[in-house]
Structure 1
């Protein structure tokens, strides 16, 4: 084949309009094209356009900066990202590897929480196991090294326990807040410890905080009084100073189900309302010890469960705007089981928001009313177990009882299903929920089982992993790359 007549820079421009698959074929046609397709700029550009701008995670990056990677490494990153995405969003994603391990060897035990640790290479999983014997409860908090045969590297047993929260900031990976008999403990995982029972190292104890935990973000704690449902926010630097987040519309505060807390604001989802709080006075330590919401949305019906997560965006803050928030909702019913549908809402950003000014009633990052995007059929049998979670890259994952397509009309059975929430552009019209009905079905079914053994799920989209905790004190790890 003759040497290309066009200059290299022109050929590189043409390459922008060629698919990765065609580019791989093109590099096999001649030596010159082979050399051009080995240029670092080619793969850097492709990674931006085919992966980052499409909000696709890059697995196996392990914290490396893309700017430090070679052309070959960038090519490998692109291949891994696209291969994982193709499998992840397939109608029936096929796990490349699957492993199951016991958390404790006790027939009276069950896994009641699983969550992946952010940062540190995405290789660690936290679990909480409940053991009931002779009317007594014991909780076992553990950390597992998934890259080392799921070995337990940290373990702590607690007889008095009211929850734990992992620091959501990846910079503070391995920092955990837990509520024990002595108060709220801030502990660090010693990943190099040889004894798992000594690997949880206490950094700080908040002895005068009798509340349970809701959110742990950077150094900020959102806590709740279990009897009154009152919410307090404080920092680990100054735990003695706390501020109550209070909705004045209710004498007795409604239950908080989930929340997002950052430096400037807090978004709180209660059973009756979605509330937005400015934390400006809290951060400066000025003003009253009670903060009222600057915006409140009242749900159409009482919530049974809700999960909040920022909407993924390659350019998350254009013009200083905050990223929209995905909201996954299951409403409650008058009966002792939830409604058989899941709803995807988005809380849109307010384009009039000015980031350099103080957040207030007239300068809010978000609009007041969330937008209904889709409603998914997700039936739950009476008293059946179920769970749901939102991932950092838009994956909604849930356990339900929708197994008719697999087991006919069996009285037991579970489905692990999900869908991928796409980025919603500003200006989406608000659609009343009662005009919408069920508009969608799960686009991915990861697994099904013939009994109701699944209890809790966790998702790590960045590495293509799902963790499922069971009523038999087992955890199954599904890996999709």
Structure 2
């Protein structure tokens, strides 16, 4: 005897729906009213999100699946499924959109803002004084702006914690002082429009590098890094060893890893055991338990592995990943290298001792790309996502002008050359192969790019240019 699918009990239907792919579920919900109603339940999308997204290693929020409303969860799971399908295809296609963000000059820095439904980005520009502008990346409209009186930004850090009241922090130089201002994006019942609000200030002489929740990372260009809790006013000082061969070892990243803080500088990476913060006066100096150097590099980016509330111990079992673009001392070299490194965690049964090292040094190189050496590059920044996808700018060819006499140039056609955005998947969750896969390249036919940011969860790249234009590329 045949049994109609729509006559099955709810428990059986739930088991069947949990095995479906997202496209199959969307097709099945159109067959009858019962399936349409049943497919809109929270438990259905939690099961699919777990089996079709989290278990397949597709970029997704680190919040619990149960924390989202059913409509929000369905939208996120459907988007993540499309993104995973795109990255696992032979190539990906970008959907571009462009808008003018600054008429007074170039975009100096650009960032996505985590949280806030991940729909905002900020641009940093400068005419007379520095200005932060908040944009809605969906409508491409300006939402708010903030500019200090008679002040210039010397550093900015976007809060990597989505649940913090503060969205970002800014190092501000005025004629007679240096201060870090903690900014929130708020609105009131009297004024529902969004605006920036300073919620705290920290007096310091060190440049701002990173921000996570209530923690700030401040570092000089030589050896010292300070972790500061702007709410409790507690801090810790971390001191790297002095190396005469590493002059002006500028800090580019501070990574809050599992029980370890990585201080990433242009010439070295130092690992510190996560320090205990104490109030002033705090004279204790923390020293690194390990360090490594990649030699002369053009850019370096360290990524924290994805963690989920579904797997709270996942972070301590996963290696950190490092993307390096090397420099060559030979100016006539025709190539440079993009290297992918891994920093493995130490495997031990007892992780309760906080003063033990938690990562094995030195890192090991997993793979590398050899790319053509080309002309000067203004946007040297690279971004490596937790799931192993990365974006960077490949410079255009060296200009022919000046290398050949003017007489010869009159008879020699000069080939066009443009900067190119490269998107690649390195070995990992979205690339099961042992070699990196170049998935897309996007040519820049306008002015030079100055900065970029990449939201791996959204599958979105944003680039600022010398003429104040912003280009958004959605996968």
Match of 2:228 among 225, 234, 241: 234
- Distance between the aligned counterparts of 1:197 and 1:68, measured in 2? 25
Unaligned runs of 5+ in 1: 132-136, 426-435
Say whether 1:394 aligns with 2:388: yes
Matches within 5 A, 1:55-454: 55-58=57-60, 66=66, 69-70=69-70, 75-87=74-86, 90=89, 92-96=91-95, 98-106=96-104, 109-131=105-127, 138-156=129-147, 159-172=151-164, 174-180=166-172, 181=174, 182-192=177-187, 199-207=195-203, 209-226=204-221, 228=222, 230-237=224-231, 239=233, 241-247=235-241, 254-261=249-256, 264-282=259-277, 289-299=284-294, 301-314=295-308, 317-318=312-313, 321=316, 323-334=318-329, 340-352=336-348, 354-360=350-356, 364-386=357-379, 387-401=381-395, 410=415, 412-423=417-428, 440-445=436-441, 447-450=442-445, 453-454=448-449
Q: 1:402 and 1:370 mapped to 2: Cα distance?
A: 31
Give the 3 Å change call, closer, same or farther, for CA 284–295 of structure 1 in structure 2. Answer: farther
- The answer to whether the 8 A contact 1:220-1:235 is kept is yes
- The answer as to whether partners of 1:185 and 1:206 remain within 8 angstroms in 2 is yes
Q: Distance in 2 between matches of 1:130 and 1:303?
A: 28
Deviates more, 1:331-340 or 1:198-207: 331-340
Q: Work out the number of aligned pairs and report it.
A: 447
* Distance in structure 2 (CA, Å) of the matches to 1:276 and 1:448: 38
Distance change >3 Å, CA 12–CA 337, structure 1 → 2: farther
**How far is 1:306 from its partner?**
0.7
Query: Which SS does the other structure have where 1:79 is aligned?
Result: helix
Answer yes or no: is the 8 Å Cα contact 1:141–1:156 preserved in 2: yes
Q: Matched residue of 1:357: which SS?
A: coil
| Residues in 1 aligned to 2:140 and 2:29: alpha-carbon distance in whole angstroms | 39
1:30-45 matches, cutoff 5 A: 41-45=43-47
Structure 2: distance between partners of 1:14 and 1:197: 46
SS of 1:45's equivalent in the other structure is helix
The farther-off stretch of 22-31 and 460-469 is 22-31
CA contact (8 A) 2:292 2:362 kept: yes
Determine the structure 1 residue equivalent to 2:403.
none
The Cα of 1:275 is off from its aligned counterpart by: 1.4
- Displacement of 1:305 in angstroms is 1.2
Q: TM-score, normalised by structure 1?
A: 0.78
1:53 paired residue among 47, 52, 55:
55
Instruction: After superposition, give the CA deviation of every residue in 1:276-295 in whole Å (9 maximum; x if it has no partner).
Output: 10133445989853211112
Q: Distance in 2 between matches of 1:130 and 1:196?
A: 27
| Offset, 1:368 | 1.4
What is the CA–CA distance in structure 2 between the aligned matches of 1:34 and 1:448, rounded to whole Å? Answer: 43
Q: Give the C-alpha shift of residue 380 in structure 1.
A: 4.6
Do the aligned partners of 2:186 and 2:195 also contact (CA within 8 Å) in 1? yes
Deviation at 1:333, TM superposition (A): 2.4
Q: Is the 8 A contact 1:101 1:475 kept in 2?
A: yes
Structure 1 residue 223: deviation in Å? 1.6
Q: SS state of the match for residue 374, structure 1?
A: strand
